[in-house]
């Protein structure tokens, strides 16, 4: 059973959605656990995009295979 306090914490972004919680939410709202985990993953990525500094990350270049002679 999902308690009101837990739902408030979830919807106010105070706690993340675990796989166990996703199963419970899926049952409670007649959805899928995957949809809840997908929402959590999108939220995590959105938060990281706002917080992570990528300015010092170098871009990796793959070798061009057409340059290799046989």
For 8-43, write each residue's pLDDT tens digit: 666 676 778 999 999 999 999 999 999 999 999 999
Q: Is the pLDDT of residue 1 over 70?
A: no
Structure tokens at 20: 């166990």
Cα torsion at 19, 22, 26, 32 (round to 10°)? -60
Would you list the domain boundaries of the chain? 8-50
pLDDT, position 67: 59
Give, in order, the Cα–Cα distances in Å from 67 to each of 58, 59, 61, 63: 23, 20, 14, 8
CATH of domain 8-50: 1.10.260.40
Give, in order, the Cα–Cα distances in Å from 1 to each of 23, 24, 37: 11, 8, 19
For 54-70, write each residue's pLDDT tens digit: 999 999 999 987 655 55
Backbone angles phi, psi at 69, to 5 degrees: -95, 145
């Amino acid at each position: 059973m999902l308690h009101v306090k837990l739902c408030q914490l979830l919807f106010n972004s105070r706690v993340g959605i675990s796989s166990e919680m996703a199963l419970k939410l899926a049952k409670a709202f007649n959805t899928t656990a995957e949809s809840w985990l997908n929402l959590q993953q999108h939220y995590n990525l959105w938060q990281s995009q706002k917080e992570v500094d990528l300015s010092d990350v170098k871009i990796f270049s793959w070798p061009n295979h057409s340059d290799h002679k046989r």
